[in-house]
Chains A and B, each alone.
Chain A
Amino acid sequence: MISLEKESKTISPSADDADSSPARVAVSLPDEPLIKIRAHRKWAAANLLDLWIHRELLYFLIWRELKARYKQTILGISWVILQPLLMTIVFTVVLGKLVGVRTGVTPYPLFLYAGLLPWIFFSNAVSSGSQSLVAGSQMITKVYFPRIIIPAAAVGVRLSDFLVASVVLIALMKYYGIHLGWPLLLAPLLVIHVTLLALALSAWLSALNVRYRDTGTALPVVLQLWMFASPIVYSTDLVPARWQWLYELNPLTGIVAGFRSALLGLPFNRSSLLSSVVVTLALLVASTFVFGRMEDEFADIV
């Protein structure tokens, strides 16, 4: 016993038997296999818990993108702020001054920025997310980890962009003298909401894109249409009452309008928020099944 204890100090903790000199060491194996490899199943869902279990990998994949992105740029991280800022200026001039869009009590530039911020996050996340598996084919064919981490990392990169660009929003709100009230506490929930929606679509579209590269080509057009089908540059009042139900099926309607209400202290539209939550959850569940069904063959067809 004493000698064993002595030995175990010098030997790495994983080697449990130090006495046996022959080539084979007695290794205690678990009763149940740690890894079970089975043939492809048709109904398998990707497990979102993997994102938590492998959070370190998720973190490092996000970190890699962010770190590498600014290595050879002049403006660096300010691009993240410039994109919504420039779009705000363009829309303020074209729609605010020339067309004369009215947004009630809220100054139009602030209204725009508060809507463009979640929109840009969402649309960037979905477009880079949908390309992520094909872009990561090198990794997919060489090493195993739950594939859902790849589109999730793409969404995570854009989420951090979003958080940086939010600083400007707070500055804008100060500038326009907006009172920061308790509804602001709802904003983080809406950020989680839009992140889940972006994750669902990224997972779905990235899996589809592995098989049909048409996905990547069609997506920019769809996103362009989607932007104008959401209350980004105009307010929800502009949509006729009899079409509101259809408009609210667009999950971004509830999210963007809700985000704005939380920040600017405007009244909430409960029905659009509710339908948005329902649609998002449905998409999330469906996407895990689509992803789970297709992920087994990524390495074979990517």
Chain B
Amino acid sequence: MKPIVSVRNVSKSYHVGRPLGMRPSLREALASFVTRRNGHSSEETLWALRDVSFDAEPGEVIGIIGRNGAGKSTLLRILARITKPSSGEVDIYGRLGTLLEIGTGFHPDLTGRENIFLNGTILGMKVREIRRKFDEIVAFSEVERFLETPVKHYSSGMYLRLAFSIAAHFEPDVLLLDEVIAVGDISFQKKCFDKMQAVSREGKTIFLVSHNLTSIQSLCSRVLLVRSGQLCEGDNPREVIASYVNDQLPAASGLKKIIN
């Protein structure tokens, strides 16, 4: 099948030491300009991602795992177009939805109703679309009674449910999720899981970054392991997760037993 997401030789490097643009003031920028002209540079290149290639097909649920700083989030941020790769190419044959954070752009002083429209448009929905799905969004989030209340008075659970509900009704062809569902209570997590499975059955592709290996195992049809900026992939999710656990905890046989 033709891939919906095609990632080819993507690399991302950062400059450590004197990072480009991380100079806090003009004076230092001038100073670094002078040193660079003299050929002395204290910069060191850090590869957050190195030569990553893979294809994703419609309907796949792809888990991305790896230790902190391995490059998972960088990969997700590149796919989300938040940051550009240093080299390589990505083609996406569909609409893209990103949920790297719950409630991006929510304004605490605005009501639930107002924030649905605000957050929806920030995520890339059209107003017409939001109007059409408004009742569904509200029903899924279970905040009907508090629609006219400023969200700053919401409990964290209500806030979370509303924010996830908006994103879940966006109906993109490719959905990027970063550890967002880990925060809700069990019944909410169950709801999210069901929603994600329903979405993938419709042929949508989901990328999920998480440290929760149990949810990765139960949700994902495929798992990518990012290890110091490079991609390791095995035949099946179970194998990849096991090799990751082996990496991390050579001695923790107890956890390994649980996974297997």
Contacts and interface: CB of A to CB of B under 8 A. Distances in A.
B84 A40 contact: yes
Q: Is the interface of B mostly helix, strand, loop or mixed?
A: loop
Contacts of A142: 82, 98, 100-101, 104
Contacts of B258: none
A49 interface: no
A143 B91 CA distance: 18
A56 B104 contact: no
Contacts of A178: none
Contacts of B82: 140-144, 299
Interface residues of A, number: 46
Interface stretch (A187-195, A209-217, A231-239, A244-252): A209-217
Interface in B170-203: 171, 173, 200-203
Contacts of A63: 118
Given A35-B81, A60-B118, A143-B122, A27 B203 contact: yes
Given A140-B82, A300-B14, A29 B94 contact: yes
Contact of B21 (A32, A67, A297): A297
Interface string B63-100: 00000000000000111111111111111111110101
Contacts of A36: 89-92
A36 B92 CA distance: 6
A23 interface: yes
Contact of B77 (A27, A34, A211, A299): A299
B159 interface: no
B38 interface: no
Contacts of A211: 21, 23, 29
B170 to A, nearest CB: 11
B4 A138 contact: no
A75 to B, nearest CB: 17
B226 to A, nearest CB: 18
A24 B105 contact: no
Contacts, number: 154
B58 interface: yes
Contact of A60 (B59, B88, B117): B117
Interface stretch (B106-114, B211-219, B230-238, B247-255): B106-114
Contact of A212 (B25, B89, B124): B25
B259 interface: no
B22 interface: yes
Interface residues of B, number: 62
A143 B202 contact: no
Contacts of B147: none
Contacts of A23: 59, 200-201, 221
Contacts of A29: 2, 4, 58, 93-94
Contacts of A12: 171, 202
B114 A37 contact: no
Nearest to B60: A24
A33 B93 contact: yes
Nearest to B101: A142
B202 A15 contact: yes
A37 B81 contact: yes
B16 interface: no
Contacts of A71: 109, 150
B39 interface: no
Given A29-B2, A138-B104, A297-B21, A35 B91 contact: yes
Interface in A1-51: 12, 14-15, 23-27, 29-30, 32-40
A301 interface: yes
A249 B20 CA distance: 34
A145 B105 CA distance: 12
Interface string B1-34: 1101010000000100001111111100100000
Nearest to A295: B84
Contacts of A213: 24-25
B46 interface: no
A64 B59 contact: no
Interface of A: 12, 14-15, 23-27, 29-30, 32-40, 56-57, 60, 63-64, 67-68, 71-72, 138-145, 210-214, 296-297, 299-301
